């Protein structure tokens, strides 16, 4: 009798570990990190547009590095130790960063106005977040949709005062909401 109960308990434990490890949810801290980085990175356009490129040149890679560290720690806590998965994630987000940097030749040759770079980057972000949502963490899907909506907002509401600060606030709130929902869900799954 005791053996049957022990086997059931062991199977229940293994089932729980497998269920948690199959879920690909990024830690809430990554969403909060990018909420802060994005808020300042887009709001700066309204107040000091000449500093925007410098901000993102540092904030983007530093945020990417911190995201990798936070994601790696969270994965290890869940028992997910796939080097392949880590490389796929790194290449996905690094590809997005390189796509943004590849806008520079369009600007230097006069084919893209400097003022349009943030819009095009929003479009790149929308696609990157959407594809990450299809591949892994479903919370990226609505974030990709929000970014696409904000891309359109910046085009069709271009004369709205503090356009980029509004965009920054919407992006930051969306990212923070995804983090809050993920943290709440993580507590439910763990408990």
Of the two residues 157 and 1, the one the predictor is more confident about is 157
**Quick one: average pLDDT of 162-180?**
97
**Quick one: average pLDDT of 145-172?**
97
DSSP type of residue 136: S
- In terms of C-beta density within 10 A (0-12 exposed, 13-18 middle, 19 or more buried), how is residue 186 classed? middle
Instruction: Specify the pLDDT at position 88.
Output: 87
Helix (H) or strand (E) holding 39: helix 28-47
Helix (H) or strand (E) holding 28: helix 28-47
Coil, helix or strand at residue 139: coil
State pLDDT tens for residues 48-72: 999 999 999 999 999 999 999 998 8
Instruction: Specify the pLDDT at position 182.
Output: 81
State pLDDT tens for residues 108-129: 999 999 999 999 999 999 999 9
Q: Please say if the pLDDT value at position 23 is more than 70.
A: no
């Amino acid at each position: 009798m005791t053996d049957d109960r022990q086997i059931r308990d062991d199977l229940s434990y293994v089932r729980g570990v497998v269920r948690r490890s199959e879920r690909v949810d990024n830690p809430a801290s990554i969403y909060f990190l990018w909420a802060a980085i994005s808020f300042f990175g887009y709001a700066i356009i309204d107040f000091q547009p000449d500093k925007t490129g410098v901000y993102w040149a540092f904030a983007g890679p530093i945020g990417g590095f911190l995201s990798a560290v936070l994601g790696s720690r969270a994965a290890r806590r869940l028992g997910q130790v796939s080097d392949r998965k880590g490389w796929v994630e790194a290449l996905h987000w690094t590809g997005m960063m390189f796509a943004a940097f590849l806008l520079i030749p369009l600007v230097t040759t006069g084919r893209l106005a400097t003022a349009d770079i943030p819009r095009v980057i929003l479009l790149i972000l929308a696609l990157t977040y959407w594809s990450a949502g299809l591949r892994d963490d479903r919370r990226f899907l609505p974030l990709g949709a929000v970014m696409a909506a904000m891309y359109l907002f910046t085009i069709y509401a271009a004369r709205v005062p503090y356009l980029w600060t509004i965009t920054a606030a919407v992006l930051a709130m969306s990212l923070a909401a995804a983090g809050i929902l993920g943290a709440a869900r993580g507590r439910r799954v763990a408990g």
